[in-house]
Amino acid sequence: MILKSLNFIGEPTTVLFRKKDINIDQLGVFMSRKYQCNSDMATWATLLLKGKFVYIAEILSSFRIHEGQASLRSKIHQMGLRELKYLLEDGKKRV
């Protein structure tokens, strides 16, 4: 996920996990770093460190992309790229 810079797991509304595996303060956090643009990927990485998971390849939801989307703005996009770099660096520390 992090190596390919692709959130194939999905948006927060498409994932089910046990409430006991993460608390509200850990959402958007990976390796003690808080993420703004890639908060979902940071959360998934944190949860993946906790143990087993199941990935269903069947498409169960969709994500709409539109011109007004914040992630398409240059400043937000650049911040997201920086965060991906941090996710990759922090992830390598865990391997």
In a domain, 55, yes or no: yes
pTM, rounded to two decimals: 0.74
For residue 66, the model assigns a pLDDT of 65
Q: Which domain holds residue 39?
A: 12-94
pLDDT greater than 70 at residue 95: no
pLDDT greater than 60 at residue 71: no
In a domain, 82, yes or no: yes
Count of domains for the chain: 1
Distance CA 10, CA 54 (A): 13
For residue 70, the model assigns a pLDDT of 59
In a domain, 7, yes or no: no
In a domain, 33, yes or no: yes
In a domain, 1, yes or no: no
What is the residue whose two structure tokens read 């944190």? 46
In a domain, 48, yes or no: yes
Q: For residue 2, what are the CA distances in angstroms to 6, 18, 91?
A: 7, 22, 8
Kindly give, in sequence order, each residue whose CB lies less than 8 Å from that of residue 43, ignoring residues fewer than 6 positions away. 12, 22, 26, 27, 28, 29, 30
